[in-house]
C-alpha cells in the first residue's frame, strides 16, 4: 500500500463525477479532501479505500491499488459517442435529457452490493437508502483505515445471512429486512450464482434468475442487471420513468407492455437512455 500512486485518467467523452455521485446509483462515497484536492473516498470491491477527484472536465484523478478497476467501476472507459449513436435519433426528449446532464454514466457496481442496496431501496428516498447502506457497512462491513479515517466495505452475503432478519431490521429497513436476509442466504448458499449474470447474453434468463428472489421484482431485477451486471439493455421502470414516459412520450402502457415499448424504442442501450431520462425527470417533473 505504501507505493500507491495517483493516476490521472482522461474520460472517453463528457464525464461529471459530481453528477454521477448524485444520480442515485451509488450511495456510500464520502467527500474527502486529500493532498489539498477536492474528491470523494470509499471502499470499492476488495481493493480497500479508493479516492477519486475531478479537478476539471477532462481530468479524473484516482488513488487506488488497481486504477483499472476504478475506471471500470465509474464507467470512465465507456465510449459515449458510440453509445449515443445507437439511440433513436429523432427523439427530442432524450436529446434534451442528455443536454441536461451530459456527464452521467452507468457505473458498474459489484453485483451483490448492487442487488442488496436496491432490495433496501423499495419505496424509499435516496437519503434513506444511503442511511441504510451506511448502517449495514458500519455493523458488518470489512473495516479499512486510510489517512486517519475509517471506511467500510459493503457486507458480504455470508455476514448478512448470519446476522439474521431481526438484526437487519434494526438498521431501519422495515419489511425489506426479510427480503435482504433471504437474498443473502440464497447467495451465500450458492442457490443464486451472481457471477453467471455478468454481461449476460441471455437477458431474460438472467432476469428470471433474479426474480426467483423474494422481494425482487421487475424494477430491482433490472436495476441489478443494469448497474451491477453490465447489461445496458435492461430498462428499470420506477415512478419517475413511468412519469416521464406518460407525460413526455404520451405512453399510457403499464408493466410488461411499457417495458417492451421502451426496449423497442431506445434500443440496445436502453438502460443508458433510462439513466438520462431518470435524472431529467427527477429534476424537472
Partner DNA sequence: ATGCAGGTCCTTT
Partner DNA sequence: AAAGGACCTGCA
Which residues form the interface with DNA (CB under 7 A)? 23-25, 121-129, 169, 172-176, 178, 211, 213-221, 223, 236, 238-240, 254-257, 278
Residue whose CB is less far from DNA, 6 or 167? 167
- The interaxial angle of helices 239-247 and 270-284, nearest 10 deg, is 90
Min dist CB 125 to DNA, Å, is 4
Min dist CB 22 to DNA, Å, is 9
At residue 40, the 3 state secondary structure works out as strand
Cβ atoms of 42 and 50 closer than 8 Å: yes
Min dist CB 141 to DNA, Å, is 19
Residue whose CB is less far from DNA, 44 or 277? 277
Q: CA 118 → CA 123, 130, 204, 238, 241, distances in Å?
A: 10, 11, 19, 12, 16
CA-to-CA distance for 193 and 280, rounded, in angstroms?
34
Residue whose CB is less far from DNA, 191 or 214? 214
At residue 66, the 3 state secondary structure works out as coil
Min dist CB 5 to DNA, Å, is 32
Residue whose CB is less far from DNA, 62 or 197? 197
Amino acid at each position: 500500500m505504501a507505493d500507491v500512486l495517483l493516476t490521472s485518467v482522461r474520460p472517453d467523452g463528457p464525464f461529471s463525477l459530481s453528477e454521477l455521485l448524485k444520480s442515485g446509483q451509488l450511495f456510500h462515497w464520502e467527500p474527502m479532501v486529500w493532498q489539498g484536492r477536492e474528491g470523494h473516498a470509499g471502499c470499492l470491491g476488495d481493493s480497500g479505500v479508493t479516492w477519486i477527484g475531478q479537478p476539471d472536465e477532462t481530468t479524473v484523478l484516482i488513488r487506488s491499488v488497481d486504477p483499472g478497476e476504478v475506471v471500470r467501476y465509474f464507467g470512465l472507459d465507456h465510449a459515449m459517442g458510440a453509445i449515443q449513436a445507437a439511440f433513436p435519433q429523432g427523439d427530442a426528449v432524450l436529446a434534451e435529457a442528455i443536454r441536461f446532464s451530459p456527464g452521467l454514466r452507468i457505473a458498474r457496481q459489484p453485483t451483490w452490493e448492487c442487488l442488496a442496496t436496491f432490495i433496501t431501496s423499495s419505496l424509499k428516498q435516496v437519503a434513506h437508502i444511503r442511511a441504510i447502506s451506511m448502517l449495514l457497512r458500519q455493523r458488518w462491513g470489512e473495516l479499512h483505515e486510510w489517512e486517519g479515517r475509517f471506511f467500510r466495505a459493503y457486507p458480504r452475503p455470508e455476514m448478512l445471512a448470519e446476522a439474521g432478519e431481526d438484526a437487519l431490521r434494526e438498521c431501519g429497513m422495515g419489511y425489506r429486512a426479510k427480503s435482504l436476509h433471504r437474498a443473502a442466504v440464497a447467495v451465500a448458499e450458492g442457490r443464486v450464482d451472481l457471477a453467471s449474470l455478468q454481461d449476460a447474453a441471455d437477458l431474460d434468463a438472467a432476469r428470471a434468475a433474479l426474480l426467483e428472489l423474494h422481494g425482487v421484482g421487475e424494477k430491482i431485477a433490472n436495476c441489478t442487471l443494469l448497474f451491477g451486471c453490465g447489461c445496458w439493455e435492461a430498462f428499470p421502470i420506477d415512478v419517475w420513468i413511468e412519469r416521464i414516459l406518460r407525460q413526455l412520450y404520451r405512453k399510457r402502457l403499464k408493466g410488461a407492455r411499457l417495458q417492451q415499448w421502451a426496449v423497442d424504442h431506445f434500443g440496445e442501450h436502453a438502460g443508458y437512455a433510462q439513466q438520462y431520462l431518470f435524472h431529467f425527470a427527477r429534476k424537472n417533473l
